[in-house]
Amino acid sequence: MADKNTKKKREKSTVGKAAQRMVFGGALTEEQEEILTPIQMVFRSFVQDKVAMTGVICFLFIFMCCVVLPFFLPIDMYYQDVTQANVGPGFGMLDVPSGLQKKARQVSLGSTFSVGIDEKGNVYEWGRFPTNKLKKLPADMGSLVQVSAGLDHVVALNDAGEVVTWGNDRMGLASIPLELRMGETVKEVYAGYQISLALTESGRLYNWGNDFLIDIKIPKEVQGNIQKFVANTDIVMALTKDGEVAALTTKTNAYTAIPEQIQGRVVDLALTDESVAAVTEDGQVHVWGNNVKGSRNIKEEVQGHVTAIEGGRFHYVVQLDDGTVQAWGDDTFGQTKVPDIKGKVKDITAGYYGSYIIDESGTVTGWGLKGYLMGTDDFGRDIFRRLLKGGRMTMTVGAIAVIISTIIGVIIGGISGYKGGKIDNILMRLTEIVSSLPFLPFAIILSAIIGNNISETQRIIMIMVILGLLSWPGIARLVRGSVLAEREQEFVTAAKALGIREWGIIFRHILPNIITVIIVNATLDFATCMLTESSLSFIGFGVSEPNATWGNMLNGARSATVIENFWWRWVYPALVLAICTISINCIGDGLRDAIDPKSKER
């Protein structure tokens, strides 16, 4: 008897293995030659599909980046900075040329590039240049003693006291005042945002460039008595030889509220885009103006020890009497993280979003904004951070739209397939009516009619709902066909005999048997909804600025100029959207093949 039982077990095992070989289309290893549940068989088949697993890895990587990284790389959706517009990808803004190291005399930091001169007066440039004109240095400049970098131009001073300029020459930036070319001895030059300034030995200040940008009015008692000056995009401030601070404007604003107690005692002056800082003879720092991004939050340990101060866009850098350097204010790009310097500090300089230190050996050390991983757009916004934010938005819209369409499709398809007859006829005609509606024209018309009368959040909800309400006919037909096949099975007859209600039979007994088909279809619809949302946003009827989606990021890259010159503005969003949708489609195809292995043969 024992031998007969053993023989029967072997025969059953052989039959089971043969069945598994037929399912998987090949021989199984010894580890696989075990009895598997249907779920295990589907999972193993899916894992063995290299294309599907590649899609899973790619999608999960993009998904996790869009979900996790925004917590570490926050973005202000309303941020704009034209000084950082259309900066190419890379992190070389602060990479000082090796030829300048160990012999640097002075450096100046512009919007996205820097300029420096060595001890012999030779000039060096590095970073991301807003215009190719910056690379064309004037001939016979002589030996330079000072240089200043602005938005997209440079002003320099040679050892003969002559002013030299290159770069963008719009708005009269190349038109050096006649007085400076006829004998006035210049001691300091400055390149700013579409303006240039020069200070003579006699204490007179001259400006040229965009006269409409800054209203510069120099009082008679100040002109000829200026020791130093600083400027930003709104105002020019001057430090007189008497140690007083003067605002060179007739307008009253936050900059003109100069503290009375510092007048006559100021030894250095600096300016950010929102505030003014003055160092008095006792080493104290006094800041007034608007406290934007912490520019007025002075570190207590620096008070009484400051010997020099420089200002960037929203941060200050100071040199202390013990030779150390401190910084405070905006730290978005690490502007306040001063590196350790071994040698004694000889000079400091700050600008826009970075700073430099020159030590006694002539070595230059920079910190702050080094560049952007994927560049910036025409508003100066970081494309990488917007990709992360936009991916979260695109995936959210697609996912919620799929959930809505799947719920509606399953309910209508389930009832239609199970009930049959007139109910089936009515529901299928409704399905045909909905599927006949042209989605894009309908969404465009609806968005144009009510889009401007609702908030951006309501607009996003409207897009998700429209996508969901018009995308269910496909899954409804699929569910109906599956239910028609399943309702003739014996377990349905048994459930009816037991008196189970029809809703229970449909959603508790039939639906679990076709859930895999629904999952596969929902996965493929997810990619379709993402593409549809991106299409709507691309043509301007979806999620609008300043909210980011992959679609409206591509919307800003439709001109030939952008396609030709600023490739990073359209390549990265298009690439990420393509990889994400293709990956989802690969996952859906892999699930379908794993659930129904015979589909590979069809």
* C-alpha torsion 586→592→597→600, nearest 10: -50
Percentage with pLDDT > 90 across the chain:
51
- Residue 18 — pLDDT band, cuts 50, 70, 90? very low
- Residue 600 — pLDDT band, cuts 50, 70, 90? low
| C-alpha distances out from residue 78 to 69, 380, 381, 479, 513, Å | 19, 11, 9, 45, 49
| C-alpha distances out from residue 526 to 289, 397, 583, 588, Å | 51, 9, 11, 10
Question: b vs e for 511-549, b when ≥16 Cβ sit within 10 Å of the residue's Cβ?
Answer: beebebbbebbbbbbbbbbbbbbbbbbbbebbbbbebbb
Q: Is residue 487 in some structural domain?
A: yes
Residue 453 has a pLDDT of: 73
**Whether the predicted pLDDT of 4 surpasses 60:** no
Percentage with pLDDT > 70 across the chain:
92
- pTM here is 0.83
- Residue 212 — pLDDT band, cuts 50, 70, 90? confident
Residue 556 has a pLDDT of: 72
- Residue 599 — pLDDT band, cuts 50, 70, 90? low
Q: Is residue 405 in some structural domain?
A: yes
**Whether the predicted pLDDT of 206 surpasses 80:** yes
Residue 199 has a pLDDT of: 95
168 vs 129: CA distance, rounded Å: 11
149 vs 163: CA distance, rounded Å: 14
Is the Cβ–Cβ distance between 515 and 475 less than 8 Å? Answer: no
Q: Domain holding 499: CATH number? A: 1.10.3720.10
Q: Is residue 372 in some structural domain?
A: no
Residue 34 has a pLDDT of: 55
- Using the Cα atoms of residue 58, residue 60, residue 63 and residue 66 in order, give the sign of their dihedral: negative
464 vs 533: CA distance, rounded Å: 9
Residue 300 or 454, more confident = 300
Reference 108, options 174, 203, 192, 167; nearest CA is 192
Token pair, residue 57, equals: 């890895």
pLDDT digits (tens, 9 = 90+) for 142-195: 899 999 999 999 999 999 889 999 999 888 898 898 888 777 789 999 999 999
307 vs 348: CA distance, rounded Å: 11
The label of the residue with tokens 């003693």 reads 145
Q: How many domains does the chain have?
A: 1
Q: Is residue 568 in some structural domain?
A: yes
Dihedrals φ, ψ of 205, to 5°? -110, 135
Residue 240 or 78, more confident = 240
Is the Cβ–Cβ distance between 395 and 460 less than 8 Å? Answer: no
Reference 268, options 223, 197, 321; nearest CA is 321
Q: Is residue 539 in some structural domain?
A: yes
What domain range includes position 63? 47-73+387-601
Is the Cβ–Cβ distance between 364 and 358 less than 8 Å? Answer: yes
323 vs 348: CA distance, rounded Å: 11
Q: Is residue 21 in some structural domain?
A: no
Q: Is residue 425 in some structural domain?
A: yes
Q: Is residue 289 in some structural domain?
A: no
Contacts of 334 (CB under 8 A, 6+ apart): 367, 368, 369
Token pair, residue 459, equals: 């607009």
- Give me the sheet containing 364-368, strands edge to edge: 345-351, 354-359, 364-368
- Using the Cα atoms of residue 201, residue 202, residue 204 and residue 207 in order, give the sign of their dihedral: negative
Amino acid at 397: V
